Amino acid sequence: MFQSYSFLLQSKSAAKPIIADQARFFSITASTNARQYKSVVSRLVKKRKEYKEGDEKPWYLRIPEEKPKYPLYPYGEALFFKRSDRGLYGGQERGSGYQVSEMGNRTPRSWLPNVVTKRLWSEALNKTIKIRLTSRVLRTITKEGGLDNYLTKEKSARIKELGIFGWKLRYDVLKAREKANKPLNYDLKKNPNGEDVKVFYSGTYKGEPIQLTVGRRKLASLLFPVVRNHTTEPLSFAKFGVEHAKASFGDILKECEGYDMDLSNVSFKPEVSQ
Amino acid sequence: MLSSLRDATKRYGANIDRFPEGTKKMLFKFAAMTQIPAFRSDKGELPKERMFTRPEQWKVEIGDRVLITKGRFKGHVTKVLAFHRSTNELFVEQSETKKMVIPKQYWQAGQQSHVINYPKPISPRDVKVVSTMVEIGKDGVEKRTEIAADEVVFKGMYWDADYCKMMPYRRVKYHENIIIPWPRPEPVEDDAFATSKEESEERTYIPNSIVRTDSPPGIVESMRSPIMRRKYKWDKQVISRSDEKRLTPPEMPISAAKEGRNGREAENQRVDSEKADCRNGQLGR
Rounded distance between C-alpha atoms, residue A159 and residue A90, angstroms = 9
Output A58 or B220, whichever has higher pLDDT.
Answer: A58
Contact B182, B55 (CB under 8 A): yes
Q: Is the pLDDT of residue A3 over 60?
A: no
Which of A48, A50, A59 to probe by mutation at the B interface, max B CB count within 10 Å?
Answer: A59
Q: How many domains does chain B have?
A: 1
Average pLDDT, chain A: 87
Taking residues A2-18, what's their average pLDDT? 44
Q: Is the pLDDT of residue A12 over 50?
A: no
Rounded distance between C-alpha atoms, residue A257 and residue A262, angstroms = 9
**How confident is the model over A130-160, as pLDDT tens digits?**
999 999 999 999 999 999 999 999 999 999 9
Structural domain includes residue B134: no
B18: containing domain: 1-34
Please give the pLDDT value at position B17.
74
| Cβ contacts of A140 within 8 Å, gap of 6 or more | A90, A150
Asked if the Cβ–Cβ distance from A171 to B241 is below 8 Å, we say no
Which of A45, A49, A57 to probe by mutation at the B interface, max B CB count within 10 Å?
Answer: A57
Please give the pLDDT value at position A272.
58
CA B67, distance to chain mean position in Å, is 36
Structural domain includes residue B26: yes
Asked if the Cβ–Cβ distance from A68 to B243 is below 8 Å, we say no
Structural domain includes residue B23: yes
Asked if the Cβ–Cβ distance from A53 to B241 is below 8 Å, we say yes
Q: Is the pLDDT of residue A178 over 80?
A: yes
Phi, psi of B228 (to 5 degrees): -60, 130
Per-residue confidence in pLDDT tens, chain B, 285 aa: 566 666 655 555 567 777 888 988 888 888 888 887 777 777 778 888 999 999 999 999 999 999 999 999 999 999 999 999 999 999 999 999 999 898 899 898 999 999 999 899 999 999 999 999 988 888 889 999 999 999 999 999 999 999 999 999 999 999 999 999 999 999 888 888 999 888 888 988 888 888 988 888 888 878 877 777 777 777 788 999 899 999 999 999 988 777 777 767 766 776 677 666 666 554 433
Please give the pLDDT value at position B38.
74
Nearest to B249 among A72, A153, A170 (CB): A72
Please give the pLDDT value at position A28.
60
Whole-prediction pTM: 0.51
Rounded distance between C-alpha atoms, residue A143 and residue A149, angstroms = 10
Conformational region of residue B278, where left means phi above 0, alpha means psi within -120 to 50, and beta covers everything else: alpha
Please give the pLDDT value at position B188.
84
On chain B, the residues whose CB falls within 8 A of the CB of A152 are: 255-257
Q: Is the pLDDT of residue A10 over 60?
A: no
Asked if the Cβ–Cβ distance from B239 to A177 is below 8 Å, we say no
The band of A15, judged by pLDDT with boundaries at 50, 70 and 90, is very low
Please give the pLDDT value at position B251.
93
Domains of chain A: 71-182 (2.30.170.40), 187-266 (no CATH)
Structural domain includes residue B272: no
| C-alpha distance from B260 to closest chain A C-alpha (Å) | 11
On chain A, the residues whose CB falls within 8 A of the CB of B250 are: 68-71, 171
Q: Where are the alpha helices (DSSP H) in chain A?
A: 2-10, 38-41, 135-144, 147-152, 156-181, 216-229, 237-243, 249-258
Structural domain includes residue B253: no
Please give the pLDDT value at position A11.
44
Rounded distance between C-alpha atoms, residue A10 and residue B266, angstroms = 35
Radius of gyration of chain A (CA): 30
| C-alpha distance from B229 to closest chain A C-alpha (Å) | 15
Rounded distance between C-alpha atoms, residue B124 and residue B57, angstroms = 9
On chain A, the residues whose CB falls within 8 A of the CB of B246 are: 63-68
Structural domain includes residue B98: no
Please give the pLDDT value at position B197.
82
Strand partners, B170: B154
Phi, psi of B53 (to 5 degrees): -125, -25
**How confident is the model over A67-79, as pLDDT tens digits?**
999 999 999 999 9
Asked if the Cβ–Cβ distance from A56 to B239 is below 8 Å, we say yes
Considering only CB atoms, which residues of chain B are within 8 Å of chain A?
233-234, 236-241, 243-258, 261
Which of A45, A55, A159 to probe by mutation at the B interface, max B CB count within 10 Å?
Answer: A55
Output B52 or A31, whichever has higher pLDDT.
Answer: B52
Structural domain includes residue B232: no
Please give the pLDDT value at position A17.
45
| C-alpha distance from A60 to closest chain B C-alpha (Å) | 9
